[in-house]
Chain A
Amino acid sequence: MDQKNILLKVENLKIQFKQRHGIVTAVEDVSFQIQKGSIIGMVGESGCGKSVTSRALLRLEAPGYIERGKISYYPPNRPVVKIDQLAPRKEKIRTIRWRDISMIFQEPMTSLGAMHSIGNQVGEAIRLHLRTDKKTTKRKVIESLRSVGLPRPEYIAKQYPHQLSGGMRQRVMIAMALSCNPNLLIADEPTTALDVTTEAQILDLLLERQQALGMAVLYITHNLAVISKVAEKIIVMYLGRIIEEAASDVLFYAPKHPYTRALLRAMPKITAPLQKKLSTIAGEVPDPIHRPFGCTFHPRCTEKISGLCDRTVPPYVQADDSIVACHLFSKLKND
């Protein structure tokens, strides 16, 4: 792969949480790369470690901790930053947050303070990171609110978060996240709490801004369909591991991993002929504290190979154009 174009590289990341019942491994052996200006989708059911992984990129993983692994950030025209070695609370990582890598969350209410007006909050972010004077800040606030399609930005700047609808709040978050022209935007399920129409609008907006500003986007969602037409590459996670990684078309039309396949078939599709019943994946995602041995998906897998899948962790293998972690594709199976 083109080494020069890499923006962010994650290698063998493992994140754990200490809990009452013991240590929970939320993310294990996760590796991926983000190219400059690309859109990466990350999918998986809730609890599979999407948020923990993405927060770790900004060192916001607390109360969890990085047990192992590397996160390297390659800013253009600057030396590489080893994010995993930065102290989570120190100055260095804080300058990277927002300015280089910024993030939007599922529930914008929690990241927007309730007590300050929209204008103040967006202004604060701009002023802190770009060190602009009062007048420029104000102009930039209005500019950025307008750029995310909010009508009457001067009026909205004076309003408080609870006076806006969910979709509008998410737009404000996007405006804030993009106000410093980051190289990477992490969007952690920004549309999950919204209805499909608003979701589509937010997605369109993100795409438009991405094209205008040329940043890379890591778009996290639990719904494959949302990013199918958008992302260049899609990473599928299950129980803390990446189980498949492929270009978006490949993933959709030739999914490899049994989980990906089952997931795709479980979605009601508006274009498919009407079925009487949807096919489902049996059972539920196990609690991370009881991670199954071997392949974490094997208790629910219809194609599991007894004696192999329940014993050994499947390695990542290249299968056609995808990278898959499944014994159906690994050499071990034939031995």
Chain B
Amino acid sequence: MKGYAKVINLQNINTKTVNRPLAPLDHYAASQWKLMWLKFREHKLAFVGLTVLLIFYIIVLFAPVIAPYDPWEDTPSLYAPPTRIHFFHQGKLMPPFVYQRKMRVDYQTFDRFFEVDKTVVHPVRFFTKGFEYHWLGIFKCNIHLFGTTDGVAIHLLGADMLGRDVFSRSIWGTQISLTVGLIGVFLTFILGCIIGGFAGYYGGAVDSILQRVMEFVTCIPTIPMWMALSATIPSEWSNVKVYFAITIILALRSWTGLSRQVRSKLLQLREEDFVVAAKVAGTSDWKIILTHLLPGFTSYLIVSLTLEIPKMILGETTLSFLSLGLRPPTVSWGVLLQDAQNLAAISAYPWLMFPAVLVVLAVLAFNFVGDGLRDAADPYK
């Protein structure tokens, strides 16, 4: 063949500096966290979940500000349905306002009904003065996000059997319900890391025994275990004590999953060549743990912790709902839902179910975020 006969100079093939064009350059210099964030952002639901969670925790932080009323204050408006916010007064557009309502009882039937006084307009104002509280337990303050200036009540989500504002109570409930998860998960994290770390680092007999313990704990059915444990909480304990007891009970059940993960990840990472490389280089053991092992599984830890929180929220709600966890006057979502325990209450006063909506929202949001994180946890795949 003509071309082949001319085949030219084959000797001058050199290894030159190798350069490969690819995706945008900053991708190359992106750290693990940045890659994870990029991948996480692609996960739409997780992003929505994250936004929802952000809002929730802002509520936790500003609960007394957002809640217009004292969650423990009884008012005469027993089982008041949600207050309507109006914009038109006698056919005229106005800034949002409410009408005053008066409860009347029909003494023949003992039915309660609310009479609306449509003559006077009570405008909804923002940052009004109301009942006094200590924000973050320190700052004395009486500003509330919204309210009326003339003392007319706005029950956004109605009132309960003692006339307490359900909206305010739900908002205050977030403080307990959403932090039980966090504190519980913190305890889980410590238990899981220590026990899993021991098992993974020492291996051998320690590992075998701890693994059996983990399996044993995993086998105990969750709810009966919780119930048994919470039944041991003395009834005279203060709210704060009970709160911490509950977090500990929740954590006692959930550390196993985490410690298994820590263990297997440690065992896996310990065998990675880059850990051997660090040893060859003469890097000390604790430095290897700090620079190679810990960063290697923090992302996995975060994922499983995120997925553990909703379980805790549900745990608290379940226990409190069954009157085994937190007790009134503490307000948590579970405690609030105790009021919605029978069908009659739900059908007559459906707004009492509102905390359940919050539970579902929070749990879903956490799960979505957890899913997104799980996909992002290993950005090198």
Contacts and interface: CB of A to CB of B under 8 A. Distances in A.
Interface of A: 20-21, 256, 261-262, 265, 279-284, 286-287, 289-290, 302-303, 319-320, 326, 328-329, 333-334
Given A261-B10, A282-B13, A333 B21 contact: no
A279 B22 contact: no
Nearest to B42: A20
A329 B7 CA distance: 11
B8 A303 contact: yes
A282 B15 contact: yes
A279 B13 contact: yes
Nearest to B6: A328
A333 B3 contact: yes
B15 A302 contact: no
Interface string B1-39: 111101111111111101111110000000000000000
A303 B7 contact: yes
Contacts of A20: 42
Given A21-B23, A279-B10, A303-B7, A319 B18 contact: no
Given A261-B10, A262-B13, A284 B20 contact: yes
A282 B1 contact: no
A280 B22 contact: no
B16 A283 contact: yes
A284 B17 CA distance: 10
Contacts of A328: 3-4, 6-7
Contact of A282 (B11, B14, B42): B14
Given A279-B13, A302-B10, A319 B21 contact: no
A284 B23 CA distance: 16
Main secondary structure of the interface of B (DSSP, over half): loop
Contacts of B18: 283-284
Nearest to A334: B2
Contacts of A286: 20-21
Interface of B: 1-4, 6-16, 18-23, 42
B309 to A, nearest CB: 30
Contacts of A265: 10
B15 A329 contact: no
B3 A280 contact: no
B106 to A, nearest CB: 66
Contact of B21 (A290, A320, A326, A329): A290
Given A21-B23, A265-B10, A290-B22, A329 B16 contact: no
A283 B15 CA distance: 7
Nearest to A20: B42
15 contacts: A256-B1, A261-B7, A261-B10, A265-B10, A280-B14, A282-B13, A287-B20, A289-B23, A302-B9, A302-B10, A303-B7, A319-B3, A319-B4, A329-B1, A329-B4
A334 B15 CA distance: 31
A265 B13 CA distance: 11
Contacts of B22: 287, 289-290
A21 B27 CA distance: 12
B155 to A, nearest CB: 49
A182 to B, nearest CB: 32
Contact of B13 (A256, A287, A302, A333): A302
Interface core residue of A261, A303, A333 (most chain B CB under 10 Å): A303
A326 B13 CA distance: 19
Given A21-B23, A289-B22, A282 B16 contact: yes
B10 A256 contact: no
B11 to A, nearest CB: 7
A21 B24 CA distance: 10
A302 B12 contact: yes
Contacts of A329: 1, 3-4
A280 B13 contact: yes
A283 B8 CA distance: 20
Given A287-B20, A302-B9, A328-B6, 11 more contacts: A280-B15, A282-B13, A283-B16, A283-B18, A286-B20, A289-B22, A289-B23, A302-B8, A319-B3, A328-B4, A329-B4
Nearest to B18: A284
B264 to A, nearest CB: 14
A296 to B, nearest CB: 14
Contacts of B1: 256, 319-320, 329
A292 to B, nearest CB: 10
B271 to A, nearest CB: 15
Contacts of B3: 319, 326, 328-329, 333
